[in-house]
Chains A and B, each alone.
Chain A
Amino acid sequence: MAIIAKDGYIDLVRDRVENFHGNQLVYVGWDDHLLFSAAQAFPLPPEMPFQALVSEAMASVFNDHPDFKEIDWANAEWVLDGKPFSPAMEASLKENGVGHKSLIRFKTPGLKGINGLRL
């Protein structure tokens, strides 16, 4: 739609990746675990190995849930920016196609949250 503004808008994208001091934003949501009300936001270096996203960043938040240590990562199902994906754990976020403000969702079959209630 054509811009409707009196004098136009200034060009200000407040969340450009350059503003994050070498990091990029990555969001991770654990499906069927609504004890975490929303996906979690992390500032991470693009060169970080995917494994570190899982064992460090994700663990730092999701470890509080009793299901987390039970996860069989070989069977986890991943979705990256709306498309199913199989992460290469040793490769970097960037190499895996995880870019600035990418949304990763993962499901852990067999683990359906507290009392199986998707919490």
Chain B
Amino acid sequence: MPAKKLNLRKRYELLTRGMGWETTHQKMDDVFPYDSFEGIKVTDWDKWEDPFRLTMDAYWKFQAEKEKKLYAVIDSFAQNNGQTNLADASYLSAIKLFITGVTPIEYAAHRGFAHLGRHFRGDGARIACQMQAIDELRHQQTQVHTISHYNKHFNGLHDPFHQFDRVWYLSVPKAFSEDALSSGPFEFITSISFAFEYVLTNLLFVPFMSGAAYNGDMATVTFGFSAQSDESRHMTLGLEIIKFMLEQHEDNLPIVQRWMDKHFWRAYRLLSLVAAMQDYMLTNSPMSWKEAWDVYFVENGGALFEDLSRYGLKMPKYHELATAEADHISHQIWSVFCSLGNATGFHTFLPTEEKMAWLSEKYPDTFDQYYRPRFEYWHQQQKDGTFEFQKGLPQLCQVCQIPMIFTEVQTDPMQISYRVTEHGGDKYHFCSDGCKDIFENEPEKYVQAWLPVHQIYQGNCGGPTLPDVLKWYKFTPEDCGHYIGSQDHARWQEWTGADSEAKQA
């Protein structure tokens, strides 16, 4: 009788299992001290389905191929002055936001997965996390290398890691990543692998990568292709971890649901910065935030949760509000950046008539009524020479750390959403019920938040004046302010002709 053929799963299991072992000199709980405290019950780690089924030598081989291809393109881009093919130098505000706000969270993800690569009890899960840890480090590294070419020619790209730890709007991604990093391993992986890298991944990746493609940024496009197949492995890991936890024990469901609710909301709030990038920073905008939300969350996310409902998992709390807000958040975030453009490390600029016509078309229910008027007012002020950046500092949300600019979109879009709670005799303010719920579930964690505005007022940010703080941020005057009249703009005009059509206002 012919020998039975092994399926892929069984083959991989036989090839790789048995490399972990039950310790005898030390207690397993001492060897793996982090994976029980969250209350997630795992009865049988052997039920883990390897999402990647890669051996280390296959991993290195595939990844090395990607590196060879990417760096050949980066070299070519540099040698051929690829930066001159951009739609406009003002587009680089998106890349400045990326290198300061996204690249450091790739590094944070690397650190997180490295930790998990040691601390999950199951050896299959450890291997998956070790590979992802190297993926994330590679992403951070390749982003730095890709974008370093722009750093030769443009401002605002020179100190991303220094700025990530200090700058007021960068505390938004920093707080997001540190929330996950300071959680236990199961919460970390639910947050990053499932909520961020599965449910919401396309809302980060597509805006930046198709934005790059539509604006002549071939370097970033190539990075995107290089990372894309890593991301599909990451998505598989995210889905596997959710299914694994939910199949292992019914007690895990309420914990997983709570984490899903929390990290959906945190990631969604973080993505509001991407929404503004997508709608306002790109010279040529292929897709609006609202369109992306409808496809990638309402449709695709809806289908995913439909599929997961057999485990009892529900759509994340406040998802309807997120969908209602899709008509608003990009405009609200860009408004606050334009108001405080003297303190951003990327240039700000008002939308042109052409861009506003596009926004009217993409946001028929909201743009003309709620947002066009302010941009037109600021345009007039800039024309008259009376425009001034806002003095003073905004109130920040205790949890997402974004200025409290979000409004009651379901009832009164011109009314700021104010939420508050008391803890330990002090008041804490939030932009939404979503952020307030997160605080109230773990106040001991969020009372520790390093809020940039409060830190400035405590005197911890270089000094009392704005120039003191900007110096502490390592912002140079050339990094900040309006695009028109900046060094980047002057350089762009030099390359493309001083009378070239103004793509930004």
Contact = CB atoms under 8 A, between A and B. Distances in A.
Interface in B409-456: 414-416, 418, 420, 424, 426-429, 441-442, 444-445, 447-451, 453-454
B377 interface: yes
Contact of A6 (B34, B388, B442, B458): B34
Interface in A103-119: 103, 105, 114-115, 117-119
Interface string B348-379: 00000000000000000000000001100100
Contacts of B184: 4, 6
A4 B445 CA distance: 10
Contacts of A102: 427
Nearest to B369: A117
Contacts of B403: 37-38
Contacts of A115: 373
B343 to A, nearest CB: 13
Contacts of A103: 395, 418, 420, 427, 429
A37 B335 contact: yes
Given A20-B458, A37-B335, A3 B444 contact: yes
Interface in A1-49: 1, 3-6, 9-10, 12-17, 19-21, 23, 25, 27, 29, 31-32, 34-43
A63 to B, nearest CB: 9
A19 B458 contact: yes
A64 interface: yes
Nearest to A9: B444
30 contacts: A5-B445, A6-B184, A12-B447, A12-B448, A13-B447, A15-B426, A16-B426, A20-B457, A27-B429, A34-B407, A35-B377, A37-B332, A37-B335, A37-B336, A38-B336, A38-B403, A38-B405, A39-B394, A39-B404, A40-B394, A40-B395, A41-B392, A41-B393, A41-B454, A60-B392, A61-B390, A99-B427, A101-B428, A103-B418, A114-B377
A35 B332 CA distance: 10
Contacts of B448: 9-10, 12-14
Contacts of B418: 29, 39, 103, 105
A32 to B, nearest CB: 7
A60 B441 CA distance: 38
B444 A43 contact: no
Contacts of A42: 392
Contact of B374 (A6, A12, A34): A34
Nearest to B33: A6
Nearest to A82: B420
B414 A118 contact: yes
B388 A64 contact: yes
A70 B499 CA distance: 43
A81 interface: yes
Contact of A100 (B39, B396, B426, B442): B426
Interface of B: 33-34, 37-39, 184, 332, 335-336, 339, 373-374, 377, 388, 390-396, 403-405, 407, 414-416, 418, 420, 424, 426-429, 441-442, 444-445, 447-451, 453-454, 457-459
A27 B390 contact: no
Given A16-B426, A35-B377, A61-B391, A81 B451 contact: no
Most chain B CB inside 10 Å of its own CB: which residue of A10, A14, A115: A14
The 9 closest A-B pairs by CB, nearest first: A61-B392, A38-B394, A9-B444, A37-B336, A43-B457, A39-B395, A101-B427, A37-B405, A38-B403
Contact of A21 (B33, B442, B458): B458
Contact of A14 (B393, B415, B416, B449): B449
Interface in A89-107: 99-103, 105
Contacts of B424: 13
Contacts of A14: 447-451, 454
B268 to A, nearest CB: 19
Contact of B393 (A16, A21, A40, A105): A40
A4 B37 contact: yes
Contacts of A37: 332, 335-336, 339, 394, 403, 405
A25 B454 CA distance: 8
Given A14-B448, A19-B458, A35 B428 contact: no
Contact of B426 (A12, A13, A20, A114): A13
A114 B380 CA distance: 12
Contacts of B442: 1, 3-4
A25 B373 contact: no
A71 B427 CA distance: 29
Contacts of B394: 37-41
Nearest to B340: A37
A36 B420 CA distance: 20
B374 A119 contact: yes
Contacts of A31: 415
Contact of B391 (A6, A60, A82): A60
Contacts of B427: 81, 99-103
Contacts of B404: 38-39
Given A25-B457, A40-B394, A15 B416 contact: no
Contacts of B441: 1
Contacts of A5: 37, 444-445
Contacts of B459: 21
Contacts of A19: 458
